[in-house]
Amino acid sequence: MTSFAHESDDEEVLAHRVRRDPNFCMLDDTRPRLFVRGCFETCAVCLEEIVDAVTIAPCGHGTCAGCDARLPPTDIRVCVMCKAQAPRSDYCTYELPPAMRARHAAFEADMVKLGTIAPAPRSLFFSAPSVSSVQSDPPVAKYGQGRGTSVAATLVDIAPIVITGRPTEDAVVFVLDASGSMATMDAWDTLAAQFPRVVDSMTGATFALIVFNDTPRVVVHPRRLEAGDGRFVAEQLAAVRADGTTELHTALELAENLAATMGGVPRVVLVTDGEATDTKAARRVMGEMKTPVFAVGFGSAYDYDRFAALCADVRGKGNSSTMFEHAATVEKLVECVLEPRSMCTFRLVLPAESGQVVFFNGETREMDEDGTVEGSFVRSAGTRVAVVAPTLVPFELFVGCRAVALEHDAAMGAEVRRFVQATRAMEYVMSLSVRVPKHDVHTHAGLLGRTRAALREIGPTMSGVIEVIDERMAAMRETRGCDSNTVARAASCAVRALTSL
C-alpha cells in the first residue's frame, strides 16, 4: 500500500511542525519531546510497521524496538534517516497501546469487507409493507441492495417531505446560555434584542424558551406562536441579565421535560459560549436525551471539540458535526438560530438477528434491544439509511410513525457500497479527534495519513472524507485557533451531501 502521509512534507521534519504546538512537552527551548502513542509509522531501518514500541530521535524519525536494540550503544547516536547526531538521552521510547492499533486494524478490515459489496438484483428477498396498507403521506421510499463477501446491505432513500409554509407540527425548545461570559461583547443584550426575529419567523410552530446560568428558568412555556408574539418574547427576555455559572445539565433536563409535552417532533436548540460547569453531568444528560439537540457554539473561544466531548455518549442520533454550528459573531449567531430545521423521524423494525448495523448520518449504530432503530432528520432534506448484516434481511420502515412501502430502484443498488464505506470512514476520522489527545499530533497525523492513503486507493467516491482529513492535517500544521470548527464544517457538508442526495 502506498503511503501519502508525508508526501507534502519532504523538507520540514516532524519536529519542526510540532514545535509550534504549545501543548508539547519540550526537551529544551527548541526541541519537542514527541508523543507517538499509537502511531503506525514505518521503521526507518527494517521498513516494517512498528508494532509494539518505537524509539524517536529528536529529528522526528523512529525505529522499532528490535532495530533500535541492534544499533551501536554509543553515547552519541546518528539518525539512520537524516544522519543528525544527538545524545542517547535525547531519544525517547514509547509503547504503542494495543487498543488503538486494534481499532485501526478493525477499521481497515471493515473497509475491505464493505468494498466487496456489488449491486444485487431485486430477486433477492426483501419484505416491506404493502402499498395498500400505507397512507399516501409520506411517499413511498426507494431502496437498493448490495451483496459482498460475508456482508450485505440495503440502502433506503427517504425523499424530502415538502410542506408549504412552516409545518404546524414543528416544535422547538430554545435553550439560551445567560451565564456571565455571555455579557462580554454585549452578546446577551444583542441576542435578546434580535431574538424576536426568530420568533416571528416561526409563526404556527410550537415554541418554548429556557434561559440558564446557575439555574434554568422557563421564560416562555410551550405555546403555539401567533403573529406578533415576538414582542411578547422580547418583553420576557428584557428582564434577564447575563451572570453566574453554566449549569448546562439542569437546563438540558428541563428542556427534555418540556419537549415531552409538545406535539410534533420537537428539537432542542442550544446556544452557549462556554464549557459546562459540571461536564460529566452534562455529558450524561446529553447521552440520555431522546430529543435531538442542535448546538450553536458562540464566540471565538468555543470549538467543536467541546461539543464533540459533550456528545461522546450520544449514539445513533446522527453525526454530531451535523448538529453543531459555530458563530464567531453575534450577527452569525442570530443567522444560525433563524435557520428552520423542521424535524421528522424514521424507525426501522429489524428481525432479531445478530450482526445487524445501521449506517445513518455519518455514523453506525446497532439496533436496540427491541429490534428497532430510530433517528431524526431534517424534513425538507430527507435522508438515507443503510442496514448492513451478514446476509440481506427483511425489515419494516416507518416515517413519522406511518408505515412506508419500499420501491426497488436499480440505480440505488450502485450507491450502496459508496454510502456504507464513506459513512464508516467518516465516523472513524471524526472519532480520532476524541480518542487521540490534542497534544499527540504525531499519532493523529500518522493515523490520518494512513487512513487517507487507504481511501485514495478506493477512488474518488471517498473525496468528501479525504477533504475532511486534509482540513484536519492542515489545521495541525498551521496550529489554527479553533481549528476543529473548520473540520466540523467540512465533515457536516460531506455527511449532508452523502445522506441527503
In this structure, are 236 and 322 located in the same domain? yes
What's the CATH code of the domain at 254? 3.40.50.410
Does any domain span residue 454?
no
In this structure, are 291 and 415 located in the same domain? no
27-64 pLDDT tens trace: 666 666 666 655 666 788 888 877 677 888 877 778 88
Residue 453 has pLDDT above 60, yes or no: yes
In this structure, are 319 and 252 located in the same domain? yes
Does any domain span residue 434?
no
In this structure, are 196 and 307 located in the same domain? yes
Does any domain span residue 412?
yes
Does any domain span residue 433?
no
Write the CA distances from 323 to 282, 297, 387, integer angstroms: 16, 11, 22
Its domain, for residue 126, covers 112-161+343-421
Residue at grid coordinates 432534506 = 381
Report the domain count for the chain: 3
In this structure, are 333 and 228 located in the same domain? yes
Report the C-alpha gap between 476 and 21 in whole angstroms.
8
**pLDDT score at 443:** 75
Does any domain span residue 225?
yes
Q: Before 87, cis peptide (omega within 30)?
A: no
* Closest-CA residue to 161 (of 187, 125, 135): 135
Question: Across the chain, which distance is largest between two alpha carbons, in Å?
Answer: 83
Task: Provide the pLDDT confidence category of residue 100 given band limits of 50, 70 and 90.
Answer: confident
Report the C-alpha gap between 400 and 398 in whole angstroms.
6
Of the listed ranges 340-349, 359-368, 424-433, 488-497, the one predicted with least confidence = 340-349
In this structure, are 352 and 327 located in the same domain? no
Does any domain span residue 313?
yes
Report the C-alpha gap between 158 and 397 in whole angstroms.
10
Residue 136 has pLDDT above 90, yes or no: no
In this structure, are 62 and 207 located in the same domain? no
- Residue 144: CB atoms within 10 Å: 23
What's the CATH code of the domain at 84? 3.30.40
Residue 446 has pLDDT above 90, yes or no: no
Q: Which residue has the higher pLDDT, 32 or 7?
A: 32
Q: Which residue has the higher pLDDT, 18 or 325?
A: 325
Task: Provide the pLDDT confidence category of residue 331 given band limits of 50, 70 and 90.
Answer: confident
Does any domain span residue 444?
no
Q: Which residue has the higher pLDDT, 27 or 139?
A: 27
Report the C-alpha gap between 175 and 220 in whole angstroms.
11
What's the CATH code of the domain at 367? 2.60.40
In this structure, are 177 and 312 located in the same domain? yes
Q: Which residue has the higher pLDDT, 138 or 3?
A: 138
Report the C-alpha gap between 65 and 93 in whole angstroms.
8
Indicate the average pLDDT of the chain: 83
In this structure, are 269 and 350 located in the same domain? no
Of the listed ranges 95-109, 132-146, 329-343, the one predicted with least confidence = 132-146
Report the C-alpha gap between 327 and 273 in whole angstroms.
9
User: Cβ(409)–Cβ(142) under 8 Å?
Assistant: yes
| Region class of 299: left (phi > 0), else alpha (psi between -120 and 50), else beta | left
In this structure, are 142 and 239 located in the same domain? no
Which of 381, 398, 421 marks a domain boundary? 421
Q: Which residue has the higher pLDDT, 428 or 14?
A: 428
DSSP three-state, residue 21? coil
Pairing of strands 92-95, 85-87: unpaired
Which of 421, 440, 474 marks a domain boundary? 421
Nearby residues of 116 by Cβ (< 8 Å), 6 or more positions away: 148, 149, 151
Does any domain span residue 464?
no
Which of 421, 447, 467 marks a domain boundary? 421
HSE-CB for 195 with a 13 A CA cutoff: 27
**pLDDT score at 134:** 44
In this structure, are 224 and 314 located in the same domain? yes
What is the chain's percent helix, strand, coil content, to nearest 5? 35, 25, 40
Residue 170's DSSP bridge partners are 265
In this structure, are 60 and 174 located in the same domain? no
